[in-house]
Amino acid sequence: MEILTAAEMGAVDRRTVEEFGVPLERLMEGAGRAVAEFCLRQYPGGRRVTVFCGRGNNGGDGFVAARVLAQAGQLVRVVLLGRTDEVKGEAATALRLLGGEASSAIVDEVVDEAGLKDLKDALGDAELLVDAVVGTGFKPPLRGLAAVLRGLVEELSVPVVAVDVPSGWDADSMEQEVEGAFRADAVVTFTAPKLAHVFGHLTRETFGPVVVAGIGSPVEAIVSSSGLSWTGDSKTIAERPRGVNSNKGKFGHVLIVGGSYGTAGAPAMASLAAMRAGAGLVTAAVPDCIVSTVAGVAPELMVAPLLEGDEGAVALASVQGERLEALLKRITVVAVGPGLSQRGDASEAARELVAKTKVPMVIDADALNAFAGKTELLDGAGRVIVLTPHPGEMARLAGITVKEVEADRVGLARRFAMEHKVTLVLKGWRTLVAHPDGRVAVNTTGNPSMAKGGSGDILTGIVAAMLAQFPDDVARAVEAAVYLHGLAGDFAAHAMDEHTVLATDTVTHLSDAFRYRVRDEYGLDWIRGLRVGRN
């Protein structure tokens, strides 16, 4: 699913009308109906509904939603910011239909602040608020009545469903938070997500949903020049049923290389995650001093002892000559870095392993640090290399500061992936998956509970396992891995508390993530938020 700018969304609507002959009234009807049906399902106890409408097309969507809600038996009040004779075009048609087909809906015209204040008590009686003041085409800040209304809504504890985007939020914003916009507990947008939907923290709830509803625009009408897409689309490869004649050899053999004295947990967690994510076989290659510790993580895990260098780190000789050949025998994917350390010649061992290994590789943690100042050695031409840096590791690879990394995450990830012909997973708020061809997928799962040691090791194991199972679909395998990792973290935080979740708890909830369907039975794509108990 492509991610659109506000201008691109406008162009989609025009193409839909002009080239494909779909009337704008039908698009508005589809949008408003999608909002109303979402409200009825998501907030079944919200019988008294107040819909805030502007005078433009976003308000028109709100008029349609109000009509459908009233027809469903809800007690609906519409607050129009302006006079009814100021509403034009398709929105005016929707307003007339609201009065004709749902006379039970009350429409209040508000033309000044006094009018809003007169409605304050009525707003407090509402059980659900729908924000249809301004939509995707609006450029902040809110002014006048809309700004005053925003302040009133802020004082209420009633849930708010935003139509298209919370009013006052720039749809083209890539900021995590925006001051001066309406709050929202859920967002229903249309056709495709916009930049704000994937980069912004649009809802006040940790698991507040942001959903995309199809309203009649053909796929051919949706054109984006940003090269940005959503990782959730790729999860479908993880939903494919396994054949009845399956065996472990069909799902790949992952080799996790890493660990050192004192960091046995990292390769153990990566290995556990790889097993849980579906790899047929997993072997952990670790220094001899931690073999028994790593082996204890699961009886299904195989181990390969490596020669130790200084201070219990991997020795360079472990990945040279016949030892390397023996290590890589029948291996499908290699993941190197978890717990590796930079002691002794561990960094040189990592570079040697990357140089001499031709099977797909995932490079993480101290194996990434081994290439700081030596990124010319990272060449994915003719092979598969996946890098999974956090901002600090990315800064060291690029020779810049973390602040500079965060200032241009998309541009930096794209340039690095294209230059080195690698797949780059830049972790952080809205983890990015940049591909060698310049495409970048944005991930929308995950939460603050995952800011714990070991989360990166878990991700490395999942990425390696997905590559092992889908070697001919690298882009979607990596995107699905990133999405599943964050989704498992969401389930863990929902079941526990974000303060108490450990990295291994995400592994426990991987089964929930695999079972989850991003598109619900009503055709909504859940860009963000959990549909717990509704799968």
Residue 254: per-residue pLDDT: 98
CB 350 within 8 A of CB 285: no
CB 316 within 8 A of CB 233: no
Residue 105: per-residue pLDDT: 85
The CA–CA distances, whole Å, from 396 to 109, 115, 371, 426 equal: 58, 57, 9, 13
The CA–CA distances, whole Å, from 285 to 267, 290, 294, 398, 506 equal: 8, 10, 9, 29, 23
CA distance 335 to 387: 10
Residue 37: per-residue pLDDT: 98
**Residues forming CATH 3.40.1190.20 domain(s) in the chain:** 249-528
Q: Is 470 helix (H, G, I), strand (E, B) or coil?
A: coil
Residue 101: per-residue pLDDT: 57
β-pairing, 440-442 vs 525-528, is unpaired
Q: Give burial (CB, 10 Å; 0-12/13-18/19+) of 225.
A: exposed
Closest listed residue to residue 110, CA positions, set 86, 88, 131: 86
Q: Which CATH number fits domain 249-528: 3.50.50.60, 3.40.1190.20, 3.90.1150.10, 3.40.640.10?
A: 3.40.1190.20
Residue holding tokens 């890539």? 174
What does each of the 535 residues of the chain score in pLDDT, given as a tens digit? 999 999 999 999 999 999 999 999 999 999 999 999 999 999 999 999 999 999 999 999 999 999 999 999 999 999 999 999 999 999 999 999 998 755 578 899 999 999 988 888 778 899 999 999 999 999 999 999 999 999 999 999 999 999 999 999 999 999 998 899 999 999 999 999 999 999 999 998 878 999 999 999 999 999 999 999 999 999 999 998 999 999 999 999 999 999 999 999 999 999 999 999 999 999 999 999 999 999 999 999 999 999 998 889 999 999 999 999 999 999 999 999 999 999 999 999 999 999 999 999 999 999 999 999 999 999 999 999 999 999 999 999 999 999 999 999 999 999 999 999 999 999 999 999 999 999 999 999 999 999 999 999 999 999 999 999 999 999 999 999 999 999 999 999 999 999 999 999 999 999 999 999 999 999 999 999 999 764 4
Q: pTM higher than 0.85 for the full model?
A: yes
Sheet order of strands, 210-213 included: 106-110, 75-81, 48-53, 128-132, 160-163, 186-190, 210-213, 525-528
β-pairing, 440-442 vs 432-434, is antiparallel
224: DSSP letter? -
Residue 535: per-residue pLDDT: 41
To which CATH superfamily is domain 6-226 assigned?
A: YjeF N-terminal domain (3.40.50.10260)
CA distance 476 to 289: 37
